[in-house]
Structure 1
Amino acid sequence: MRFLAALVIALLTVPSASAQVAPTEAELRAYAGLHAAAARGDIADIERRITAFENKEALDARHRTPLHVAVYQKQHDAARALIRLGANPNRLEIDRYDIITIAAVANDVPMLRIALEGGGDPKAVTSRYDGTALIAAAHLGHAEIVRTLIAAKAPLDHVNNLQWTALIESIVLGDGGRNHTETLRALVEAGANVNIPDGSGATPLTLARSRGYRDMVAILEQAGAK
């Protein structure tokens, strides 16, 4: 009973794109230095400031570094330049998101590749849910992001503090449509454990059946789910 009560509370605040807080317009206008250069994608200014020993890891009020800002603003070249010049690709902002998870939630495949190639850790545990970028992407049905993270050896069976894996999130937070079904298919084909239950003991197959997600049920049954 306590688990179910906790689950209800968790569902009200479940991780989503809105769980991450991108810089507001007011923050963007107020930025100076490297944060401002990153936000507008000014490579020359980034290089000039770092050459002058400006702090690459400077923090704004929400502990976003210039690199976080570049990723939130989808400034791909700026993010690449910051990483090349030594910015930490694994730094967490105030809500415990790294640039890989930010890119995953935004469904920004080019940025995700920049983060991975720049040394970002696809195995990192992020967010207040103790999840991973793979779980966040599965929740949102970002199938190409999921496949990219799988190729980068993201952990397939990590269990977050809601007692959900990426596979489970693709079901319980999905809509049973094409994107979430393809996400589940990618996880199953990669070898994700199809029988890890949630905190109440319900298996992925049980969860998919209870929601009437027939395509997901077929994939799980073919993979030997119980």
Structure 2
Amino acid sequence: MYGLLPLSGGRALCVVVALLIAAAPHSGAFAQTSLITAAESGDLPALQRALQAGAALEERDAQQRTALMAAVQANQTKAARLLIEAGADVNARDSIEDSPYLLAGARGYLEILRLTLENGANLESTNRFGGTALIPAAERGHVETGRTLIAAGVDLDHVNRLGWTALLEAVILGDGGPDHVAIVGLLVDAGASTDIADRAGVTALQHAKRSRYTEIVEILEAAGAR
């Protein structure tokens, strides 16, 4: 039925098996379930139906994402809220060591971040670079996210695998614009150390001077940075 060309018995059997596998519907532990699909698309009625039908909250797809992780990646706030209220794990890791909490912080999805913080987010958890949620938030200039994480009690001086703190990332990878100036101000006001240097021995102040980030230099010098 597949229009096979004449083949020897062994080869023909292999071709038939391969075609049958390809034609079979995807199933198993890593299939994209209806719950994950609904979460990613923000389809709340479909999400509710899947939950009412007994869908497993922590089922995973091929990227090891839960439905909540898929919702966070797509910034589907209402879907994320529904899943969290149903008991979804805000610390569940995917294949690249992200969690709903860590990703919401990194991307600046403030409403979802607050939901994760209210529902058991592990403030000490770190991403694949060994950084807390605060570090990428600072790097990307997510001011309100940074403020929220600081208020939640995330370690201000945690050093990631690159040898950088949130303050160092805000200066080294930031653009010196208003958002990064604000982030630096928040970190300094909260008590972040200005003296922690990178692996080359260069401090945040020295990086700011090299990049001619005048406003950041002023904030750091006023805080006694060297």
Per the normalisation by structure 1, the TM-score is 0.82
Alignment partner, residue 219 of structure 1: 219
Alpha-carbon distance, 1:125 to partner = 1.1
Alignment partner, residue 178 of structure 2: 178
Alignment partner, residue 24 of structure 1: none
Q: Relative CO higher for 1 or 2, CA cutoff 8 Å, sep ≥ 6?
A: 1
Q: List, as ranges, runs of 4+ consecutive aligned residues in structure 1 with deviation greater than 4 Å.
A: none
Alpha-carbon distance, 1:53 to partner = 2.7
Same amino acid, percent of matched pairs: 42
Q: How many residues get paired?
A: 196
Query: How many angstroms apart in 1 are the aligned matches of 2:40 and 2:184?
Result: 35
The answer to whether the 8 A contact 2:106-2:136 is kept is: yes
- What is the CA deviation profile of residues 114-162 of structure 1, one whole-angstrom value per residue up to 9, with x for unaligned ones? 22122222331112x1111100111111111101111111110000010
RMSD across aligned positions (CA): 1.5
Query: How many angstroms apart in 2 are the aligned matches of 1:110 and 1:85?
Result: 17
- Which aligned pairs between 1:17-96 and structure 2 lie closer than 5 A? 31-96=32-97
The answer to whether the 8 A contact 2:33-2:61 is kept is: no
Runs of 5+ unmatched residues, structure 2: 1-30
Query: How many angstroms apart in 1 are the aligned matches of 2:173 and 2:62?
Result: 31
| 1:104 matches 2:105 | yes
| 1:161 matches 2:161 | yes
Alignment partner, residue 21 of structure 1: none
The answer to whether the 8 A contact 2:101-2:117 is kept is: yes
Per the normalisation by structure 2, the TM-score is 0.82
Runs of 5+ unmatched residues, structure 1: 1-29
The one-letter amino acid paired with 1:214 is T
SS at match of 1:74: coil
The one-letter amino acid paired with 2:57 is K
Alpha-carbon distance, 1:83 to partner = 1.2
The one-letter amino acid paired with 1:187 is L
- What is the CA deviation profile of residues 154-204 of structure 1, one whole-angstrom value per residue up to 9, with x for unaligned ones? 110000010000000000001111111111111001110111111111111
Alignment partner, residue 197 of structure 1: 197
Query: How many angstroms apart in 2 are the aligned matches of 1:134 and 1:105?
Result: 7
- Which aligned pairs between 1:85-164 and structure 2 lie closer than 5 A? 85-127=86-128, 129-164=129-164
The one-letter amino acid paired with 1:38 is A
